[in-house]
Structure 1
Amino acid sequence: MSLVMSLAPETSWPGQPCPSCPPQFTPLQWPKETKVLTPTRCRPPALDAGLQAIMVILLLFWLVQWICYYIKVYLDKDLSQRTGTLKEFVCRTVEQCVRSWRAMLWAALQQWLFWAIAGTLVLLLAHCWRLRKRISVVDNRRDSEREESEEELPTEKNMIWIISRHYQLSVPKLASGRRVVEELLSDLLQVSHSLFSDSFFPVLQPAIGVGSAFEGWSHHKEKDVVYCMFVPLKPPHGHAFLLEPDTMGEMSQRSMRIRVELVCTCTRKQPDRNMLCFLHHSEEELKRNQMASLLHTLCTGPYLDGEKIALWFQTVVISAWSMLPQSCHYSMKVLPSCRSCKVKLMKASGRSFIVEIVFSVQQGDSDIFLSSQPTEAQFPPSTTWLESYAVAEAKFFRQVAMQAPPHSCHLKCLRLCARILEDSGLSIYALKTSVMHLLTLIPLSEWQHKYFLMRVDDTLNYLRCCLEEARLKHFFFGNEDMPEEISLPPAFQEAQPLNLFQHLAQNPAAQTEALNKFYKFECDLFFGF
């Protein structure tokens, strides 16, 4: 009973104060209207804040210990298996990352290519627009300049057309003819090398095209064009060429003789076992076991003979023609010539070519050669070789063609003047020399086609002044304006210029006659239409 009473909650009854509650009303002080209260349980007091914090810390500490213990037990069970699983997971994750990055990079690259192409197209369109604008401006300028030139010189084009028709200045088909001739000479020289490889004839070098046909200004009609080819000669084994000035004859053009000397072949680094030395073997042994030397075949005395060389090469052409591929398309005829080999090629269609093969010997490493071909004014002995500048002239015109503006009129000017002065008595070489001087005096930019009549007038004025003074300087002697590409012997720069009109200076009557003819042809040009 007492235990039950002790465990029973404390109750308050009316008229008795609660020991745990503050006294508010006493039973005697209650108002009469106050109702009797039923018994109620008293609220326990709240925990202190410090005690609550300690309990939370203890709970967290216990939780951390439990997690550490669980991890330790979990990892100790199968560490190797879980490590492999972790590695697989990491690898799979890395592969997925790589794939995702690759996809992102490819998408970015595609976008970059797209924008790059788009930007390039935009730049191209802008550049085309600018070019079109510039072209329109240039065309407008050209139209205005053309209108001004037509207003200033309304008959200039008509004048050029009339002159071209009158003098028949249509350019012959030189390019195709040059190709045919060059191929012919290349094949012919190759066959000749095989035929005379064991002999002691001169060694034929690659041919060089010279003359007006290869310079591009021939004033002849196509059927009358002569394609001239220089074939340089080298001494065979055991021989040497020595150039000696010709002091025997009196000629305005420089000339030399070519002495042939025998050379010992015993001391050569690579001696030919099949060749006997001409100096150290007896004549009987040489006649019995070896071909004759050059001195006994194509020389007159110790000097190389141009006529004998021409005759020998003509026989070479006749014997080798059947072995050439050109024999299937052309028929060949050797024309009479004493110092050169002149042949005529005829095609079934009627087209023909005249080829003149001139033999020459080079002076050192220069562009000056000694030629076997005599000039119209001079016919020296067959052992005298005239100095020729044809190779240097052809090289000069090639250099001018490379540096001159397109459609330059220098070749047309040369061709027209050659037609005008064809019967004037002046040599074509004097005319070509005058034009070469003018090409070094007048800038090449002033040789455009629109200045054609001016350049023709300059050429004729230059020739007239030279005739009046009876003096025309040679182009390759003492010329300070010589292009560097042309190789000349050292003595040429220091030598006094040769006078191509020396014969007029020595004959005043011939000079007066030449001037009168020149005036007549000049008047026919400008007042005869």
Structure 2
Amino acid sequence: MPVTCSGACDITGDESPRGGYQGRQQQRCPSLAWASAPSLSHSPTEPLLSLLVQAMALLDIVFGILQILIHNVQLVGEELDEETRKRMEQRAEMLKRETTRLWQEEEQMKQEQRSQESNSFTWASLLLSALQHWQFWVVAGVLVLLFGLCWWLRKRSREPEREEESSDSDVEEEEHEEENDNANEAEEENDDANDPGMFFEEHIQWPVQHLDRDCQTVRDLMETFILVFQYILSNTSFPVLENAIEVGSTFEGWSPREEDITYRLLVPLKPPRGHIFHLEPGPVWLARNFRIRVELVCTCETEQPVGETRCFLHDLEQDQRRNASFSTLDDLCTDSYLDVQKIARYFQMFVRHSWRALPISAAHRLTVLPADRSCKFCVTRGREKRILIEFFFGVQEGTSDIFVSSQYTEAAYTPSTMWPETYAVAEIKFFSYIARHAQPDTYHLRCLQVCVRCLLGRDFSTYTLKTVVMHLLTTIPLSDWRRRHFWERLNDILQYLQSCLEKKQLNHFFIGNENVPEEIILPLELRVAEPVNLFQHLAQNPDIHEHAQLEFEELRSRLQRLVLHGR
């Protein structure tokens, strides 16, 4: 049944949490209080607050009804009425405390919400308040514009003075530069007039050579030959061929000849599968000599190539196959030592038979030349200049730049199983090292070329002068080998050679020499060895020494004629 209120309620109580007043006074109807409750502002917590307000209003109504019942109920019995009244008063007191707690929570939530809103809008309100003072910003902008205008006018007023000063300084600098240029030109003219290198460059008849073009032709041809040889000799017991190494004066850049230039290369050999090479020292002449002993090794426990699963040493069938076909021990060795002449004959045959399979054979003619310890041939095209190519064979000493090769020795007779030690690879690496660290106009190769050109037809060997120049290149700074020092370096070469002739001693460059660059890899025994005297034969034979001195005087006179007359 709905409850209505027709006037003020005669309910007295303590301080109301909503009224904020003290003392006992007459309370308004709860329904009117709920209806007149102030409306809440829209916020994220509005639904929750609305529910709380409705709950509190409902509690007020219930509390009012209970009080009415307490005052208006007719007592049935005195004991029962007193007990009921106490229970109802306790219930009313509990509801009052609960209502007070809910109102306190509501006030706390409102306070937290107001603090969050004030924090979020602090900077925006400050900025908005600052922007509202537009008069301040207008005045500030006008002041900035006035300051910039004054600075620009002051800068413009000083530009004419600076232009005058800069023009005066530019004129002085130009005059000074012209004076320096004139002085430098005069010095260059004087240097050119007194530059012996320039004189030699213009007056000496240098051999007409096309080394760059011909060297590239030789490289391409040898690469093709090596590829063909590797294909033919694959899966055989022939020594394994590696890429050819360019050696000799032509590839070093100082060949003294104009015609009949020979391009020399070294072809390293590796032992074939199932074999090993042992270097055994032989007699020591001017250089060390070795013999290469070939041995079979067991390959039972090593990884075999595809199609090769047997060991030459322990498999009888494989040994019979080796004997029936080509064999390094049987066809290239003499008494188990690698024979130079047999290898040379096989390679000459390979070159002759594989030539027609090369594309270059369509326009060029090949002529294999006789040679006992190398493979030498000539390639010509019609009536054009011919190219002479000679490649030797070598076995590397460990991982160094020193090889034992099939080159000739200076002895009257060299056994076919003797492999002299060669330093050709180390020499070309040395000249490459000098070229990388020297200036572009360094004339060390021209000095060597002039001296060796004057030696042609003499008993002096070109290797002697080459050794002298290599020693001087490690003792004289490379900056002193430029073109303007040409004549001084020629005199140094002659004086060094003359001193060696007088002392009858010229040390080998790579044996026991501490000045060899570290980039050149030498065996340890060569670095710590005692120097080898290349003029030892002069000390042993006075007649040879006297003849060598006469040859030196002839060399000096020919060099002087070349300097004075250009030929």
Shift of 1:283: 6.2
Distance (Å, rounded) in 2 between the aligned partners of 1:477 and 1:447: 25
Residue type of the partner of 1:486?
A: I
SS at match of 2:486: helix
Superposition map of 1:289-328 within 5 A: 291-328=325-362
1:205 maps to 242
Alpha-carbon spacing, 1:142–1:337, altered in 2? closer, same or farther (3 Å): farther
Question: Would you say 1:460 and 2:494 are equivalent positions?
Answer: yes
Superposition map of 1:115-134 within 5 A: none
Shift of 1:336: 0.3
SS at match of 1:441: coil
SS at match of 1:224: coil
Distance (Å, rounded) in 2 between the aligned partners of 1:269 and 1:156: 61
Shift of 1:137: 8.0
Structure 2: gaps spanning 5 or more residues: 1-41, 43-169
1:224 maps to 260
Superposition map of 1:335-374 within 5 A: 335-374=369-408
SS at match of 1:485: coil
1:243 maps to 279
Alpha-carbon spacing, 1:429–1:160, altered in 2? closer, same or farther (3 Å): same
Distance (Å, rounded) in 1 between the aligned partners of 2:305 and 2:518: 40
Alpha-carbon spacing, 1:290–1:139, altered in 2? closer, same or farther (3 Å): farther
Alpha-carbon spacing, 1:344–1:243, altered in 2? closer, same or farther (3 Å): same
1:474 maps to 508
SS at match of 1:307: helix
Alpha-carbon spacing, 1:198–1:178, altered in 2? closer, same or farther (3 Å): same
Deviates more, 1:261-270 or 1:211-220: 261-270
**8 Å Cα contact 2:238-2:326 kept in structure 1:** no
What does the per-residue CA deviation read over 1:404-438, in whole Å, with 9 as the maximum and x for residues that have no partner? 11121111111100011223311000000000011
Shift of 1:262: 0.4
Question: Would you say 1:149 and 2:191 are equivalent positions?
Answer: yes
Shift of 1:150: 5.9
**8 Å Cα contact 2:451-2:559 kept in structure 1:** no
Shift of 1:350: 1.5
2:467 maps to 433
Distance (Å, rounded) in 1 between the aligned partners of 2:332 and 2:428: 29
Distance (Å, rounded) in 2 between the aligned partners of 1:433 and 1:206: 27
Distance (Å, rounded) in 2 between the aligned partners of 1:342 and 1:502: 32
Structure 1: gaps spanning 5 or more residues: 1-71, 73-128
Alpha-carbon spacing, 1:356–1:150, altered in 2? closer, same or farther (3 Å): closer
Alpha-carbon spacing, 1:329–1:423, altered in 2? closer, same or farther (3 Å): same
Shift of 1:281: 1.5
Alpha-carbon spacing, 1:145–1:301, altered in 2? closer, same or farther (3 Å): same
Shift of 1:290: 6.7
2:555 maps to 521
Distance (Å, rounded) in 2 between the aligned partners of 1:419 and 1:484: 31
Question: Would you say 1:174 and 2:208 are equivalent positions?
Answer: no
SS at match of 1:258: strand
Distance (Å, rounded) in 2 between the aligned partners of 1:265 and 1:332: 41
Give the TM-score taking structure 2 as reference length.
0.65
Alpha-carbon spacing, 1:328–1:494, altered in 2? closer, same or farther (3 Å): same
Give the TM-score taking structure 1 as reference length.
0.70
Shift of 1:341: 0.3
Shift of 1:155: 7.7
**8 Å Cα contact 1:474-1:499 kept in structure 2:** yes
Shift of 1:172: 1.2
Aligned length: 394
Identity, % of aligned pairs? 44
Shift of 1:328: 2.0
2:226 maps to 189
**8 Å Cα contact 1:275-1:290 kept in structure 2:** no
Alpha-carbon spacing, 1:284–1:261, altered in 2? closer, same or farther (3 Å): closer
Question: Would you say 1:387 and 2:429 are equivalent positions?
Answer: no
1:114 maps to none
Question: Would you say 1:277 and 2:311 are equivalent positions?
Answer: yes
**Aligned Cα RMSD in Å?**
2.7
Shift of 1:517: 2.1
Shift of 1:524: 3.7
Shift of 1:452: 1.1
Residue type of the partner of 1:346?
A: T
Alpha-carbon spacing, 1:292–1:137, altered in 2? closer, same or farther (3 Å): farther
Residue type of the partner of 2:401?
A: D
